[in-house]
Structure 1
Amino acid sequence: MSTTVKLRSAVIGYGGAFNMGKHHASKMIESGIEFVAACDLDPARAAQAEQDFPGIRTFTNVSELLAQPDIDLVTVITPHNTHAPLAEQILHSGKHCILEKPMCIHAEDADKLVKLAASKGLMLSVFHNRRWDAWYLTVKDLMDRDLIGDIFHVEMYMGGYNKPGNWWRSSKEISGGMFYDWGAHYIDYLLGIVPGKVQSVRGYIHNRVWHDVTNEDHIESHIQFESGAVAHIEMSSIARAGKAMIRILGTKGAIVAPSLWEGHLTLHTEVNGLNIETKVPCLKDNHDAYYNNIADHLYNGAELVVKPEEARRVIAILETSELSAKAGKELELPYEIN
């Protein structure tokens, strides 16, 4: 690294679900960023953070954490509806900010955060670490080798017939809705697979079965790109029959992934006039790359891989899908790329 002064980081949110506070802290340390503080409203979770990382400072009040002058970077790992106000607080305190996905719930808030970070000269990024998933790296490699050609159709699916759990992720007011969990990953994947501007979004929503939770039962988003490419993303908790999680059609080949975790993709292509179907082993995932890039960006000025403007597009598509469903028509995408 080009500097001997170590960046110092903290997390807001050290909840027990998935142990993400410990995960983020560990990845920061591995990337060369010192982890010095954790904040959680629950004193027991703050105590757990100190037990996991002896010697760190712990807080149960966000303002007290942000008043610490020697903290450079704060990662937010809290329920989705708190992301925007916490990020605003962090940026106003003069600290770099990373948000767990999704960036926030509303595209207008995402836009405000993008502009605030730029005005302050601070880094803002979103933890879209799944850009380094094995299956996705393999798709990008096949694209780079021109084995797929011009991609004109993408389908993405996740679901089943299962009652949602009784927790904040099933509350629409807090989570933003069922599309704001894996849907945020899927939209980010999609925007890396299909280049260019989005022309319009058409959403469809069903609330038919699980009436004791406020999230949707089933949501679909049809995304039309200016290139003519079309994507269909479906998330469901009432789908008794499933389908492949990923299906990508191009002018030279097609890719099918029944599961994102099988370790291989099925490639359909043509060789010497023959239609070929073959299993392609997935490349190795590289989830360390996210924080390695953050460190390289802040220490050495390397280009930030997950830019806030990209995360803003994700939120715009998620929100516009719902607004379109309510309006019963296609809608244009706000805050689209120039």
Structure 2
Amino acid sequence: MKIKLGIIGFGGMGKWHAQNAPRAGVEIAAVCDIAEAKQKDAAEMGYKFYKTAEELLEDPDVNTVVLTVPNHLHKEMCIKAAEYGKHVITEKPAALSVAELDEMETACKKAGVVFTAHQNRRWDRDMLIVKKAFDEKLLGNIFTIESKLHSGNGYMHEWHLYQKYGGGMIYDWGVHLIDQILFMMPEAKIKSVYADIKNVLHEEVDDYFKIILKLDNGITAHIELSTYILEYQPRWLAAGDKGTMIVKSFGCDGNIYRTGKMLEKLPSQIVETEAGPTRQFAPVPPGGIVKEELPEVDTDWVDFYKNVDGVLNGREESIIKISEVRRVLSVMEAARQSAQTREAILFE
């Protein structure tokens, strides 16, 4: 079975799917959008287009749909597509709550169609470098991981500004950042969730959050996002008992740092610094810490569609399981509860 994709919503992400899914052998069967400007875009790009989702869902050439509509429409569109017998891919977040997701999954199971979410950030090279370090113990036993995403661009745009449409940064990027941590170490259970969520520039939706996950494997994960931090911190920091890894940006510039032989042989001594006398935090002498290159990983975002093709043709299991999507949404709900109560929420 070849994936014949209908794209519901032809904005930025809809166009991304249209341009990239064919690299995995997907046929773009049709697109739809209620906006005349986007209908014009579709026509100029050579796609068969419809003005409504119902028209697209009635097209027998479409066997799978991807929902790239505002977040509040995911549940409605998913259930409707399932009723038409279409396999369903939702953009993230798949739903606005665990309860919504359960309704969507029930509808898809009843219709006998595949249901998954486009958590494309599982194929990000920067995250996979950190995952490789965890999987292969390149840093020894990791005790902390920091995932930070900062922007100086300030204000959000369009429907992302409004609660009723599922706007805000937790729904936009928080779902990715949480999913990446849980994907990195799927066997670890979450002992507690603590969160601070703020509206720095936006009155209605969140634009800053810090979420701390304490895991039963001894790792504490710190997840921070801000649309208005003007000097960015590294995208990733991972520290273990055999080294520290810094990945500075999506461009994957950074290094692994390890203790050099010189530092191991230094005698204990107190050093005068600008902060006064100290032994533990004295400046490390030249050669005391050595740098290594980051490990290489191969990845491609369109492997998502290759996996969907494998699922539909019975060759593979879904890489992105609805149980995993539900777990991420549960963490998001616990984070909001923690921010309201100012207390850590016991989890798994």
TM-score normalised per structure 1 = 0.85
Task: Report deviation, 1:321.
Answer: 1.0
1:202 aligns with 2:194: yes
1:292-322 CA distance string (max 9 Å, x none): 1111221243121122221222222223211
1:292 corresponds to: 306
1:249-328 correspondence to structure 2 within 5 Å: 249-261=239-251, 263-269=252-258, 276-280=290-294, 282-328=296-342
Give SS of 2:312's match.
helix
CA–CA distance in 2 between the matches of 1:28 and 1:159?
29
Distance 1:151 1:53 in 2: 50
User: Counterpart of 2:44?
Assistant: 51
In the TM superposition, what are the counterparts of 1:1-338 in structure 2 within 5 Å? 5-15=1-11, 18=12, 20-54=13-47, 56=48, 58-195=49-186, 196-207=188-199, 209-211=200-202, 213-261=203-251, 263-269=252-258, 276-280=290-294, 282-333=296-347
Q: CA deviation digits over 1:187-226, x for unaligned, max 9?
A: 121112233222221111223x425x42224211111223
- Say whether the 8 Å CA contact 2:159–2:167 is kept in structure 1: no
Q: 1:89-134: CA deviations, max 9, x gaps?
A: 2122221111112212212212332343334332111111222222
Stretches of structure 1 lacking an aligned partner (at least 5 in a row):
none
* Cα distance in 1 between the residues matched to 2:302 and 2:3: 17
Letter of the aligned partner of 2:162 in structure 1? S
Q: 1:61 & 1:307 partners in 2: Cα distance?
A: 29
The percent of aligned pairs where both chains have the same amino acid is 29
Aligned length: 322
The amino acid of 2:36's aligned partner reads P
Q: For residues 7-39 of structure 1, give each alpha carbon's deviation from its aligned partner in whole angstroms, at most 9, with x where no partner exists.
A: 322010002xx3x22321233322223221111
In structure 2, relative to structure 1, the CA distance for the partners of 1:264 and 1:238 (3 Å cut) is closer
What is the SS of the residue equivalent to 2:31? strand
* Over 6 Å off, 4+ runs: 271-274
Q: Select the structure of larger CA radius of gyration.
A: 2
Supply the RMSD in Å over aligned alpha carbons: 2.4
Q: What amino acid does structure 2 have at the position aligned with 1:99?
A: T
Q: Is the contact between residue 5 and residue 63 of structure 2 (CA under 8 Å) also seen in structure 1?
A: yes
Aligned-partner Cα distance in 2 for 1:157–1:137: 15
Counterpart code for 2:35 = D
- For the Cα contact (< 8 Å) 1:172–1:178, is it kept in 2? no
How much does 1:183 deviate? Answer: 1.8
Q: Any conservation in 2 of the 1:265–1:282 contact (CA below 8 Å)?
A: no
CA distance in structure 2 between the partners assigned to 1:210 and 1:144 by the alignment: 39
In structure 1, the residue corresponding to 2:323 is in which secondary structure? helix
TM-score normalized by structure 2?
Answer: 0.83
**Aligned partners of 2:235 and 2:247 also within 8 Å:** yes
SS for the counterpart of 1:278 is strand
User: After superposition, what is the alpha-carbon deviation per residue over 1:114-168, rounded to whole angstroms, capped at 9, x for unaligned?
Assistant: 3433343321111112222222232233333331333331111122454313421
Structure 2: where are the runs of 5+ without partners? 265-287
1:332–1:265 distance in 2 versus 1, CA, 3 Å: same
